[in-house]
Every structure is written in C-alpha cells, then in structure tokens.
C-alpha cells in the first residue's frame, strides 16, 4: 500500500443493484473516519487494473443481462484475479458478482453464463425468485454475528467443496434448501445480501478493513466507532424477522 488503501469497484455502471455501491461507500467511510486514506478505482470493461496492488475488490449484483455482458470481460482477468486471491486480496462479491466467481450460471431461459471457476460452486435459475429480508449467522474468527440484508435472485447456488459464509436464520440464502448463505475462501466473501450489506453490518465491514491492513503487514486493530444507529437499525429488522 502506498500510504493509501486501494479500493477497486469493478463495473460500477453495470453491477450496482439495490444500492450495492453502498458497500464501497461504507468500506471507504469507515476507513476515513479512522484517518485511513482511501483511493477508489472504478474499473469499467476493457480498463486495466492490477489486482495485486488493490486492497479491497468489490463486485456487485446485476441482472442476468448485465452478468452476461460482464462475464466476457471478467473472464479475461481470471488468471490475475486468481493469483491475487491466492495471495490474500480481500474481495466482497454480491449476488450476480458472487455467481460469476463460480463455475457457471444457468439462466431461466437455458443460457449458460460461464463463471471464472475461481470457487467451486454453480448456480442455476429456479422457477421462483427468492425475494425478501434475510438474516444470517456468521462466524468471524470464532465470534458469531448476525447479518441482516435483502435478497432478490432467481439463481440457486450450490456449493461443492467451498465453505459457506454463514447459515440462514430467516430468508432463502443460497438456494432456499440447504440453509447455507454465501461462500467464503481465503479473504473472499460472497453473499446474496444486498441492502447494501456493509452499511447494515459494520462488524463485517471492519473485519474486511482489518483483513486488508493485515495483508499489507500494517497494524490492523481498528479503533471502535460509534455504531449505535447501525445497531439500532439492525435490531429493528432482526426483530421483524424474529431472529434477535
């Protein structure tokens, strides 16, 4: 890191469903509130980026059409992205972005959108869209947290030999069948939760910031912030889902 935390937002014009861009804003704000300077690289199809130089990569959700458009550009970056992931790049991928990291997505009209195959899972569209609020329990370094978010997807994701991000407490998660939500590998965090996820769940945001600092060998114990409003909002929605 050259004195700044380098954030990469891939395809900001196309992958930004349900306020997903808020994930970049929350990550950035929580760094800046601690006097950690951040630079945001917005990378569009065909533009160059060196993933190894990045500290945090964000891939948002998109419709089937947008995913199809992105798949080709993303495919050309597979090797580089795979190397950066192996060496600890912190990645957050939501919904459509999540699906693209796996083996493939079979859409409702029978089209196969090839994934990067960087994580071992696949997705196929179900008959019914999975829509609504969702609560998930996750484990971060042995500590359990509840995440709140919103999901809206037709794709059902099935994990092969990759860990889930967490377990569904309310809602559908990966497929509405196995009780699993998202996927996790090294510092890659995948989830169906829009909302957006990070502003609603500051514990996860801080975990990602801390992981990014740690990867650079920097002090990664973060100063606490006043999260009373975020906690209040989360309690309210968890109560509505009866999982608090």
Q: Largest alpha-carbon pair distance within the chain?
A: 49
Query: Quick check: is 41 catalytic?
Result: no
Cβ 17 to ligand GLN, closest distance in Å?
Answer: 5
Kindly tell me which of 5 and 193 has the beta carbon lying closer to ligand GLN: 193
Q: Looking at 8, 31, 190, 194, which residue is catalytic?
A: 194
Cβ 33 to ligand GLN, closest distance in Å?
Answer: 29
Residue 13, preceding peptide bond in cis (omega within 30° of 0)? no
Distance between CA atoms of residues 59 and 216, nearest Å: 21
Distance between CA atoms of residues 113 and 63, nearest Å: 12
Distance between CA atoms of residues 61 and 231, nearest Å: 25
List the structure tokens of 133. 């609020």
Kindly tell me which of 78 and 152 has the beta carbon lying closer to ligand GLN: 152
Q: Indicate the residue whose CB is closest to ligand GLN.
A: 61
Which residues are at the interface with ligand GLN (CB under 6 A)? 17, 61-64, 67, 95-96, 152-155
Kindly tell me which of 178 and 227 has the beta carbon lying closer to ligand GLN: 178
SS3 (DSSP) at 231: helix
Helix axis angle, 22-32 to 202-215, nearest 10°: 70
Cβ 95 to ligand GLN, closest distance in Å?
Answer: 3
- All residues at 6 or more sequence positions from 165 whose CB lies less than 8 Å from its CB, including other chains: 136, 138, 181, 182, 183, 184, 189, 190, 191
Kindly tell me which of 61 and 195 has the beta carbon lying closer to ligand GLN: 61
Cβ 85 to ligand GLN, closest distance in Å?
Answer: 20
Q: Looking at 8, 95, 153, 190, which residue is catalytic?
A: 95
Q: Which residues are catalytic?
A: 95, 194
């Amino acid at each position: 890191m050259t004195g700044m935390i380098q954030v990469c937002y891939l395809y900001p014009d196309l992958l930004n469903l349900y306020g997903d861009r808020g994930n970049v804003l929350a990550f950035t704000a929580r760094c800046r509130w601690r006097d950690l300077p951040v630079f945001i690289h917005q990378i569009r199809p065909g533009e160059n980026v060196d993933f190894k130089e990045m500290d945090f990569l964000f891939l948002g959700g998109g419709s089937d059409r947008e995913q199809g458009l992105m798949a080709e550009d993303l495919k050309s970056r597979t090797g580089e992205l795979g190397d950066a992931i192996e060496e600890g790049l912190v990645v957050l991928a939501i919904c459509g972005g999540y699906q693209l990291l796996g083996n493939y997505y079979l859409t409702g009209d029978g089209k196969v959108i090839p994934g990067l195959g960087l994580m071992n899972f696949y997705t196929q569209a179900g008959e019914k869209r999975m829509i609504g609020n969702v609560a998930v329990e996750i484990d971060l370094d042995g500590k359990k947290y509840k995440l709140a978010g919103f999901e809206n997807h037709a794709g059902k994701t099935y994990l092969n030999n990759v860990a889930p991000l967490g377990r569904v407490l309310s809602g559908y998660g990966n497929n509405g069948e196995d009780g699993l939500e998202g996927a996790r590998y090294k510092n890659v965090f995948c989830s169906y939760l829009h909302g957006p996820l990070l502003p609603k769940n500051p514990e996860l945001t801080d975990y990602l910031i801390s992981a990014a600092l740690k990867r650079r060998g920097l002090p990664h114990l973060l100063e606490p912030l006043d999260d009373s409003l975020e906690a209040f909002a989360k309690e309210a929605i968890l109560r509505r889902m009866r999982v608090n």
